[in-house]
Amino acid sequence: MRSKAILLLWIKFIFACTAQYSDEIKKIIDLGYERKAQSILPYLSDKNEPKRYYATLQCVSLADTITIPFLKKNVLDSSIRVACTAAYALGQFSSDTQLNLMPLILQEKRDTVAYWLIISAGKYKTIDRSVFYQYLDTLQNSTRLEAALYALYYLGMQNIYDAKGISKALECLLHKRASVRYASAKYFERMPASYYTSSVQQRLFQQAQTEHDTYTKIALIHSLKKCLPNDSVQTYLNKICVEEKQEYRYVVAALRAGGIPLQKPAIQNENIQQEILNIILTQNLPNSDNYLTTFKASLANSIGTYEDIKSKFPYLASVILKYLGTSVRHHNFIASQMLNSENSPVIRTTAAELLLQLRQSGSYSTLQQDTNMFLQYCKQGLQSKDPGVIAVMAEMVRKYYLKNVDINTLQQAKSSLQLPRDIETYQEIEKTIALKQGKTYNPKKYPQNYYTKVAWSMITDLRPIVEVNTTKGTFCVELYADVAPATVSYMIKLIKEKYFEGRYFHRLVPNFLIQGGCPRGDGYGSTDLLLRSEFSPIPYQEGSVGMASAGKDTESCQFFITHVPTPHLNGRYTIFGKVISGMNVVHSLSIGDKILKTELKNK
């Protein structure tokens, strides 16, 4: 684990060596936060190291091409934190930017700097792959090898795969360093099934059975879905579903990969229940007397109590509604739930999402095509003035009814929204209007008065601790005011105002994240202020706390906590903290769990 240790020590050094912000540093951060790239440039070559560093850090979020020459120069800086941050910032531009980083990589002698340069190089379609693969073949250093595998991973995110990369990743699945094996496993986890040759399938299956590193094994189990149908793989996945007793994430991974629990799983966890429900609602499973059938029957028996529980337990009612949504014959009832203004936003938005799922399902064809019922539901949803419903119906228009819904209906739906509070829905409507008009959608730059400023008075500690008490227990988060001061100062403000108390966790994706903080409780709510994105080289690990967004510079009050490392989020979502105790509580959280109290703690 030497390469991982080097990186963690570096991260700890560069982000914890400043006791407090000076006035000059605050000015640099404010300029970066306000996206004044031109004003940042002089500080990138300042003689004062802290000024160079914080100016370079702003470039990670700026992603302005005028900074590229300065960043290339700062990669050579004698300060390790300046050089590493510059290397990371060079990976933040659009993937088709004409940026060749291989010369910098080949001449760099410092492993940590080379690490970020290599990863950044993999984010560009224009990378010279012949030179990159020659370099990859010569690597013996585990830190650089790990970075090269992540470069392959990011190339894969752009659907760039080839035999040389696949071969090297297969080879590295057997590496002695767990961090190298993990990077390889993530590459295959994302790789499309069309590249899964018999040799790839065999190696992944063998490694999944013998792997001891938790994160690597989870990624490998996820990958086995692309090895089916295969009796041996299916048996292995089924066995994990039932017999695994220690790590619930293995069970979730097996369920997601296609495993079937033929009896009650050994581990009782709501995340597992969530995955079982997802299987019931999305897959046609064998109708046998097994745990799934029992679970399905118990859920069906609760339908009669739907009206009784939806006002008191809307998240439970939404589960029942999802069960009804497996059959297109319930479309009238589901539409009535979407349009009932007395229902909670959770119910209304869930119903809208179910109508969209039914419209795109194969069972939709069983309806008479000339009834236009779903078109009417779509129009009524757009007229509902409910942001969650409007967002989903805007998507339905784009997919199915672009010719049938007039521009005035869309404009009226847009006029019912309030900015910046309804920014996510606003963007969905804007996308639909642009498509209707035959234009390319480009997100707008919103006025400065939409954004909160860095509340410097709120930051008395660069790493404050907040204790979060929930219905499942308590966990503590260390906040990163040293890299995300605007986000942390705003979150501290909300904590002091007791904003989060009584808010629900509304989104759960097991083996990925739990999300909360939405004032509506359905994911379509924000406060009346926005935050700009504050990106940094800190990677998303298990327990990382990040800001949900509808695109760059649209953050507000919703946050998420990751269950596992999530490299595809790095540099794309603001990371502003990490769970330092009570991670077991975080793993137990499910949709509908509530935040009871948040409190800043003295160290």
- In tens, the pLDDT along 61-114 reads 999 999 999 999 999 999 999 999 999 999 999 998 989 999 999 999 999 999
Contacts of 541 by beta carbon, 8 Å cutoff, 6+ apart: 562, 565, 578
- Is residue 558 a contact partner of residue 547, using CB atoms and an 8 Å limit? yes
Ranges 187-201, 265-279, 452-466, 484-498: which has the least confidence: 265-279
- Residue 129: per-residue pLDDT: 92
Statement: residue 474 has pLDDT above 90: yes
The percentage of residues in the chain with a pLDDT greater than 90, rounded to a whole number, is 79
Statement: residue 178 has pLDDT above 90: yes
Residue (of 126, 138, 124, 116) closest to 93 by Cα position = 124
Distance CA(396)–CA(361), nearest Å, equals: 13
- Residue 416: per-residue pLDDT: 97
Distance CA(198)–CA(206), nearest Å, equals: 12
Residue (of 464, 501, 461) closest to 600 by Cα position = 464
Instruction: Go through 527-536 and write b for each residue having 16 or more CB atoms within 10 A of its CB, e for each that does not.
Output: bebbbbbbbb
The token pair that represents 502 in the structure block:
């009584």
Statement: residue 2 has pLDDT above 50: no
- The residue type found at 506 is H
Contacts of 16 by beta carbon, 8 Å cutoff, 6+ apart: 462, 463, 482
Distance CA(379)–CA(388), nearest Å, equals: 14
Q: How does the average pLDDT of the chain come out, rounded?
A: 92
- Residue 4: per-residue pLDDT: 54
Q: What is the CA radius of gyration of the chain?
A: 25
- Residue 301: per-residue pLDDT: 62
Confidence of residue 1 (pLDDT cuts 50, 70, 90): very low
- Is residue 40 a contact partner of residue 28, using CB atoms and an 8 Å limit? yes
Distance CA(452)–CA(485), nearest Å, equals: 11
- Residue 439: per-residue pLDDT: 94
- Is residue 280 a contact partner of residue 255, using CB atoms and an 8 Å limit? no
Q: Which residues pair with 597 in a beta bridge?
A: 469
Query: Does residue 554 sit in helix, strand or coil?
Result: coil
- Residue 307: per-residue pLDDT: 80
Q: Is the pTM of this model over 0.75?
A: yes
Ranges 233-242, 261-270, 415-424, 504-513: which has the least confidence: 261-270
Statement: residue 26 has pLDDT above 60: yes
Say which residue, 304 or 197, is predicted with more confidence. Answer: 197
Statement: residue 3 has pLDDT above 90: no
The token pair that represents 565 in the structure block:
């490392």
Residue (of 127, 118, 178, 188) closest to 153 by Cα position = 188
SS3 per-residue string spanning 581-602 = ECHHHHHHCCCCCEEEEEEEEC
Inter-CA distances, 451 with 197, 486, 492, Å: 50, 10, 16
Distance CA(437)–CA(13), nearest Å, equals: 51
- Is residue 15 a contact partner of residue 483, using CB atoms and an 8 Å limit? yes
Distance of CA 126 to the CA centre of its chain: 26
Statement: residue 375 has pLDDT above 90: yes
Residue (of 95, 55, 94) closest to 73 by Cα position = 55
Sole residue written with tokens 């790239």: 37
Distance CA(545)–CA(561), nearest Å, equals: 5
Label the pairing between strands 473-479 and 465-470. Answer: antiparallel
For residue 485, say if its preceding peptide bond is cis, omega within 30 degrees of 0: no
* Distance, first Cα to last Cα, the chain: 30
SS3 per-residue string spanning 84-106 = HHHHHHCCCCCCCCCCCCHHHHH
Q: Which residues pair with 508 in a beta bridge?
A: 514
Other beta carbons within 10 angstroms of residue 475's beta carbon come to 23
Ranges 65-69, 177-181, 325-329, 517-521: which has the least confidence: 325-329
Distance CA(400)–CA(356), nearest Å, equals: 10
- In tens, the pLDDT along 534-570 reads 999 999 999 999 999 999 999 999 999 999 999 999 9
- Residue 350: per-residue pLDDT: 96
Q: What is the dihedral sign for C-alpha 303, 305, 311, 316? A: negative
Sheet holding 575-581, edge to edge: 505-509, 513-516, 559-562, 544-547, 575-581, 473-479, 465-470, 595-601
- Residue 411: per-residue pLDDT: 97
Residue (of 454, 450, 476) closest to 577 by Cα position = 476
Residue (of 313, 535, 524) closest to 422 by Cα position = 524
Residue 599 exposed, middle or buried by CB count within 10 Å (0-12, 13-18, 19+)? middle
